[in-house]
Amino acid sequence: MTRRTRRPGIRLPLTVTAAFAALLGFAAAPAQAATWSSSEPFGSYTTPDGYTLYNNIWGSGAGSQTIRAESASDWDVTADHPNTPGIKSYPNAKKVIGKPISGITSLTSTYDVTVPASGAYNTSYDIWDSDYDHEVMLWVNQTGAVGPIGTEQATVTLGGSTWKVYKGDNGANEVYSFLRTSDSSAGTVDILPVLKWVQEKGWWGDETIGDVQFGYEITSAPGGLRFATNRFSVSGS
């Protein structure tokens, strides 16, 4: 910075001096780093309130990806995955429930996300039984060439949204996918009616619900795309 010489005998007003000093202090302050960040494929972090965040790069041909988090309600991912078929990653935050469906009286979740207009991905909940034999996916939005496993079964209105339901398996577990009929970037989902509907169909029994995960199932994100979770929480009893 170029130093200026003031004329002798002239004093700057106190308010101007203080403001200038404050400005210098602001400019010198370092940028705040995230509470946690990782570029490791399976980097993870558990928050003080019991959520766990995962970078979770697992697909063949994946590129680079970095997750940064202040909390389960404030985290983002920058991903640079090639425009090739196949899921590359599912960065997510999760809460473990640990109760059978019959023992759950309420289970809701709130989300708010900012997602890119390009790439190929879905923003989804991934809900598992405790043995990881059954997987319930709730897609709240999707972009690009992505699709669910299995065949279409029905269109139902549950938990405050209307969904197209697909049923299939991936060779390791059963998959029940609920695709929202209109994309949403923010809202609240009543999860329990969805779980009970699957039970009423006879697709599973009184399963103990383990993980309730929420994140981004990314197939491609060429050039580096950002996925931001502005709010996320799970409430149940």
* Edge-to-edge order in the sheet of strand 208-220: 44-46, 52-54, 92-100, 208-220, 120-129, 134-143, 174-180, 161-169, 151-158
Q: Is the pLDDT of residue 5 over 60?
A: no
The reply to whether 21 falls in a domain is: no
pLDDT at 209: 98
pLDDT at 11: 34
The reply to whether 48 falls in a domain is: yes
Q: Quick: pLDDT tens for 201-216.
A: 999 999 999 999 999 9
Give the CATH number for residue 40. Answer: 2.60.120.180
Across 110-124, average pLDDT:
98
Q: Which residues of 60-76 are buried (b: 16+ CB within 10 A; e: fewer)?
A: eebbebbbbbebbbebb
pLDDT at 34: 80
Q: Quick: pLDDT tens for 139-191.
A: 999 999 999 999 999 999 999 999 999 999 999 999 999 999 999 999 999 99
The reply to whether 23 falls in a domain is: no
The reply to whether 62 falls in a domain is: yes
State the chain's mean pLDDT as an integer.
89
pLDDT at 15: 40
CA 130/CA 13 separation, integer angstroms = 68
The reply to whether 198 falls in a domain is: yes
The reply to whether 25 falls in a domain is: no
Give the N- to C-terminal CA distance of the chain in Å, as an integer: 59
Q: SS3 for the chain, per residue?
A: CCCCCCCCCCCCCHHHHHHHHHHHHHHHCCCCCCCEEECCCCCEEECCCCCEEECCECCCCCCEEEEEEEECCEEEEEEECCCCCCCCECCEEEEEEEEEHHHCCCEEEEEEEECCCCCEEEEEEEEEECCCCEEEEEEEEEECCCCCCCEEEEEEEECCEEEEEEEEECCCCEEEEEEECCCCCEEEEEHHHHHHHHHHCCCCCCCEEEEEEEEEEEEECCCCEEEEEEEEEEEEC
Domain count, the chain: 1
Q: Quick: pLDDT tens for 7-44.
A: 333 333 434 444 434 433 434 444 456 899 999 999 99
pLDDT at 237: 85
The reply to whether 12 falls in a domain is: no
The reply to whether 192 falls in a domain is: yes
pLDDT at 169: 96
Residue ranges making up the domain that contains 147: 36-236
